[in-house]
Chains A and B, each alone.
Chain A
Amino acid sequence: MDWLRELARRLSMLIHRRQFDADLEQEMRLHLELRREEQLQSGMTADDARAAARRRFGNATYLKEESHLAWGWEWFENVAQDIRHGLRMLRKSPGFTAVAILTIALGIGATTAIFSVVNATLLRALPYPQAEQLVSIEADFPGVGARDVGMSEPEWQDLQHSGILEYVSPTWFDENNLTGSSQPAHVRILLVAPNYFALLGVKPQLGRAFHPEDHSPGLLEEVVISDGLWKRAFGSDPHILDKSVRLDTDLYRIVGVMPPGFDAPGRTAEERNIEVWAATSFYGTPLPDNPPRNRRFLPTAVARLKPGLSTAEAQNRVDALVASLQKQFAGDYPLQSAWSVRLVPLQERVVGNVRQSLILLLGAVAMVLLIASVNVANLLLARASARGREMALRQALGAGRRRLITQLLTESVFLSLLGGIVGLVVLLCTKQYLLRLLPESFPRLTNISISWSVLLFALVSSLVTGAIFGLAPALHAGRVDLTHALKEGGRGSTGSGEQARTRRMLVITEFALSVVLMISAGLLLRSFWDLLNVRLGFSPQNVIAVRTRLPAPNFPENDVYATAAQETPFLREVLRRGRTLPGVQEVAIGDTASVPLDRSLRELKVISEGQFLLAFEGRDFQCDQPAAVERSSVTPNYFHLLGIPLLRGRFLSESDDDKAPQVAVINEGFARTYWPNQDALGRRFKRNRADSPWVTVVGVIANARTESLAQAEVPQIYLSLYQSESRRLAIFLRGHLDAAAIPEQVREQVQAVDPTLPISGSQTLDETVSASLTERRFSMEMVASFALTALLLAGLGIYGVISYMVSERTHEIGIRIALGADRRSILRMVLRQGLGLAIVGAAVGLVGALVVSHFMAGLLFSVRPTDPLTFACVALLLIGVAVLACYIPARRAIRVDPLVALRHE
């Protein structure tokens, strides 16, 4: 503890150091006086006495300094002095200060903003205890190219009892109709194992979670609800526990309410915003009593590793388990399919979708910061030459080179910190607005905050930035040629060739970085533009899709829509009533998979149903190509409503109902993939299950980009809705519609048929198409705005350098003009100098962009990473900006009045 007391003493000296110096002074004076008096008494003259006292005492100034230094605060006092001095210098040139601080504020603010998003999504652990132990389980058949095929109930049991995992819970996303309140509501429900909440380690705010060891058959009759649903549907009723709700007509008891801010770990916004959790052990009515090993109806699963086990170790042991299961149940795991089970860190699953674009953004914003600091370095260099005389003078008075460099670095770091603070304040003030720029589907949005780690990041990046942009001027200042600088007198500038070289290098760097950013932005912009202008193959104009859902009760006797035959009258009645609505010209119904480009629904389909694996008549599935395809079920009018043309055969018809043989319409992509160079009409395929009926192809339609804007030819199947049991439905209406009134009008008509059905998610297809581009639009817009900022900064940078050069050469230009130089040749001379820098910078940047764009290939659509048009346009644009930026100082140069210029000296 001695060092602590010592530190306390040192600190108190630091605080009272003025007093300290005064005390020392007084103490030493007393000493000298007493000694002098003693000498006087021994008979010396007054002068001799004083001299003797002084001699015996030694060099008082030196000793005072020595005493002061003993306390070890020299460095601190230097920094304080430098900051004071720096502040004075900043106050003296407010223009420079404002520009520098704003530039840095822009750089640091933007970088910190992006970092706060990266921190919240990629870096911070998921908000569950020991989140690093949580994994998602994904099973693949790499042998037949099928990914994420889901898990069967026996496989789940095997994993649960393997000793590798603490808990394993399948998760099954679904939607449900919540009835009993005033209006039937559509809720997002997650079917989980009873151990789900124990697995995540989260407790409800009210009531309890499921009992983790409950293994009773069927669905437990209890549910846990989200805080959101509790507030929205139950008005935060404090006595909610043990109340009953009906979900798809089945009765459940509410046993718990999750805390606010609790999100399920999921890939999409739908999967994360779960409103109801229901538990089951995945066997017993309504599920099969003894689910077979090869029925992988559990689409996704999460698990917690045994404590102390790393993901890699666990994966090794799972691999061994998989190998032994394959041997034991050879019939269920054909060798060709090469069944494998992957443990993916849960975080990876939740944020995997946005990782690449976030890293792109972080890279882009880091470049903006770099360009900003290069700009400030340039400003500082210009000022350093103006301060050359000050530096020379200080050096002449004995300041060491290191001391001068420290002083300039302290100043620049201080400047950078000021900029960082301004940036951070602006960020905090605009946080609400900035957050709205993020797509809503972004994972972990609510976690984004200015946390301590973000503040630390801002601090460190300010310090580093300050050090970077302060380095060049500081090193130059250390190398001032004294005699030269002092002799030059009033002009102040040393105009050293070396400094000019550094400034040119900085401008070249700036241009190179801007080119890289501009090209990245250009490529993204072109991708986006091409996507917007892609030929859709269907017409989304004037179409609104409204969703509803038929209940699927757990007990078949309660199910009024159990078969297609029971469902068909409902569909026909809704179609008939839909046509009577004002403005409606056409109506069709499809399952939700048929809504074009609806990403959330597509994910949902994959999540809750897995891929649709096909078998073809006359071919063996096991050794055939993978046949996992997109399929939807629609009513006959769907194709006409969306304007998708028929190529061969016929559309579906009203007579393709449950009594008729199963038929399908396929798109050209499907025909070309599975029956290349053959006529697809009349061919038969079926779902790859023993009990599925054969389906005959009756028509081939043109390809339409209903699955993905980026892909032209996704194989697709359209089944007749009258022949399939689809519960999640979308009602399509075409006509001159009032988008605001439609949901209510449709609700009335649907509920006139069945009053228990909810209506949700009404959207025009134009909106759906546009929404499918949200994330692309976001990264494109962000990178583009960073690129524009970079361009602006680079323009300012070259402007600064050229105008400085012109002002430095005023004298020379004056002489040239006096000697009869053509003004045009002067203009050319100045422009040439600026353009030279821009061209070298652009060339370096083009090479850099080639490297960077290569990594962006995954984010691009229809443009190659080396797209010559983008590269050329960006290079030209940048050179144009350079010409503009140089033209202003160049004009000043030709207006130089030789008389004034020469008298100037």
Chain B
Amino acid sequence: MSGVDALHRDEIPPGTLYLLILRTLARSGEMHGYEIASSIQQISNDVLQIEEGSLYPALQRMLIKGWVTAKWGTTAGNRRARYYQLTAAGRKQLDVEMSQFERVIGAITRVIEAV
């Protein structure tokens, strides 16, 4: 239990949730919410663990912005699930977020290395 809790405390840097979702969707095309959450977790080797529910308000905001679209489909286990897919605007946004992220990370790295 304590291991899980420790992982839990490695929260994602603020503002990167959109980036993570966009990147995940860009990689794998259509996904439903659970798949997105699991995918982020797996690829980060269980380091990045988001509060899974917070995906949903974020997805709503992305729907409003028109970065993603959603449609209902069925899962492998034959259950109804809402699948999200990147739009052209979403792809553009991904580039924006990526370059912004790299700029910030680069700057942080430079500061750390200067010490």
Measured CB to CB, the residues of A under 8 A from B are 2, 5-6, 9-10, 23-24, 26-28, 30-31, 34-35, 56-60, 63-64, 66-67, 70-71
Contacts and interface: CB of A to CB of B under 8 A. Distances in A.
A707 B66 CA distance: 79
8 contacts: A6-B66, A28-B33, A30-B81, A31-B33, A56-B51, A59-B53, A66-B57, A67-B56
A31 B34 contact: yes
Interface in B1-52: 32-34, 37, 49, 51-52
B64 interface: yes
B79 interface: yes
A27 B51 contact: no
B109 interface: no
Chain A interface, DSSP helix/strand/loop, else mixed = helix
B98 interface: no
Contacts of B79: 30
Chain B interface, DSSP helix/strand/loop, else mixed = helix
B56 A24 contact: yes
Contacts, number: 66
Nearest to B81: A30
Given A31-B33, A71-B64, 13 more contacts: A23-B82, A24-B56, A26-B80, A28-B33, A30-B32, A34-B34, A35-B52, A56-B51, A59-B53, A63-B56, A63-B57, A67-B56, A71-B60
A41 to B, nearest CB: 13
B65 interface: yes
Nearest to A5: B66
B37 to A, nearest CB: 7
A59 B56 CA distance: 12
Given A30-B34, A34-B34, A35-B34, A63 B61 contact: no
Contacts of A71: 60, 64
Contact of B80 (A28, A30, A56): A30
Contacts of B72: 23
Nearest to A24: B56
B52 A2 contact: no
Contacts of B60: 67, 70-71
A67 B66 contact: no
Nearest to B5: A55
- By CB atoms of chain B within 10 A, which of A24, A34, A58 has the most? A34
B66 A58 contact: no
- By CB atoms of chain A within 10 A, which of B54, B57, B75 has the most? B57
A133 B24 CA distance: 68
Contact of B51 (A23, A28, A30, A58): A58
B49 to A, nearest CB: 8
Contacts of B82: 23, 26-27
- By CB atoms of chain B within 10 A, which of A5, A10, A30, A64 has the most? A30
A9 B63 contact: yes
Contacts of B54: 58, 63
A707 B32 CA distance: 93
A58 B52 contact: yes
Contacts of A31: 33-34, 37, 52-53
A58 B81 contact: no
A57 B38 CA distance: 12
Given A26-B80, A60-B53, A70 B61 contact: yes
Interface in B49-97: 49, 51-54, 56-57, 59-61, 63-66, 72, 75, 79-82
